[in-house]
Structure 1
Amino acid sequence: MKNTIGSIYMLTHALSKENINIIMTMSGAHESSIIFAVAEIDEKRAIQSLYNTLFKP
């Protein structure tokens, strides 16, 4: 993340567009590790939204 400007914005914006509230965030020791806590009801939509943002053109 340190070499990519806006990486956190990109991920949080993807969740925001789907109206998914982020309850908590944590980042791990490795720079590519970040955890978002969301409500269980939003889990599948959150995963799909992040997947689409990161892996689909």
Structure 2
Amino acid sequence: MFYLCVTYMNLSIRFLLRKDKPGKDNLYSVHLRVTQSRKHQYLSTKHRVSIANWD
């Protein structure tokens, strides 16, 4: 997974590219990982991108 991280106080938000599950169109889904007080929650953004467009 590739990610971009934003941290504020004890809250961390990361945008993750799920490389383990490519779609039929060879695009990968983008997810949010929200961490607060060491508890994680993953949220789908409903966006799909290619690896070349990720960075």
Q: Taking structure 2 as the reference length, what is the TM-score of the superposition?
A: 0.28
More strand by percentage: 2
Higher relative contact order (CA closer than 8 Å, sequence separation 6+): 1
What's the TM-score, normalizing by structure 1? Answer: 0.27
| Greater helix share, structure number | 1
